[in-house]
Structure 1
Amino acid sequence: MTPALIYALAAIGPILVQLALVLGAPWGHLTMGGRWPGTLPPRIRPLAGLQALLLIAMTTIVLNQAGVTDFGWPAWAIWPVLAITLLSTVANFATPSRMERLLWGPMTVLMSLSLIWMLFL
């Protein structure tokens, strides 16, 4: 249960930032490669919303797999979560945005390690 809770707690920050971006927070430098400093253009904000929804779904899958909750997710759903989390880690360290590398890089490493711990150790 502990690694799942670490994952869930680590996901709260990115979820809140993405939701704030949807609402017009001037944090565009913290997402999508920092392509839009300041507020995201209105046509891009739905992508931040989709990212928030994806992170929420992934977190519920992790908590479901650990037996913390019972959302009815199938057991195999954890594997796409692991793949997306690992790919996000790579992307967050490869981004041209220094702030993304400094903030989300370590966060996704923590999320990845908690999943590996949960699934393999």
Structure 2
Amino acid sequence: MTVQIAHLYGTACLAIVFFQIALIAGAPLGRYTQGGTHDGALPMSGRIIAAVSIPVVLFQGLAILSAAGFPGLGWPTWTGWVAFAVQVVSTVLNWITPSKPERAVWGPVMLVMAAMALVVLTA
């Protein structure tokens, strides 16, 4: 079961990466990210933040997959805990954002992802 949960976590991370790519490409989803201060497409500074978040999210996914024993990774266990810490911070930030659409969408998603990461790390 732990491996399946890790796979779900990794899949969610990939979905977030695709969301970030859409933001970089100019998708009008600014209300759903970075505090919701932009109704349409993000300005260049917001797109840069989206680009920087991609390797962070990929790290998180790979770290949790490694913690579940995914073949070929073999990362130290502490990387999974770092990924979990980043996930918890993301969860809190998405629940306290002034953007109602961001809270409604990303708050629950981040909370479920944090729970999945914790399950994998404590199994």
- Secondary structure of the corresponding residue to residue 91 of structure 2: helix
**Percent identity of paired positions between Structure 1 and Structure 2:** 34
Shift of 1:53: 1.8
Q: Which runs of 5+ in 2 are unaligned?
A: none
Match of 1:71 in 2: 73
Tell me how far 1:12 sits from its aligned partner: 2.6
Q: Hey, which bits of structure 1, 4+ residues long, moved more than 6 A?
A: none
TM-score by length of 2: 0.90
Which amino acid in 2 is paired with 1:100? E
In the comparison of the two structures, how many residue pairs are matched? Answer: 121
Give the whole-Å Cα distance in 2 for the aligned partners of 1:62 and 1:119: 7
> CA offsets per residue over residues 47-97 of structure 1, 9 Å max, x none?
101112211111011112212242353221111111110111111110011
Q: Secondary structure at the match of 2:6?
A: helix
1:103 maps to which of 98, 102, 105: 105
- Of the structure 1 ranges 102-111 and 12-21, higher mean CA displacement relative to structure 2 is found in 12-21
Q: Distance in 2 between matches of 1:47 and 1:29?
A: 15
TM-superposition CA deviations, 1:16-75 (whole Å, max 9, x none)? 111111111111111100012211112321110111221111101111221224235322
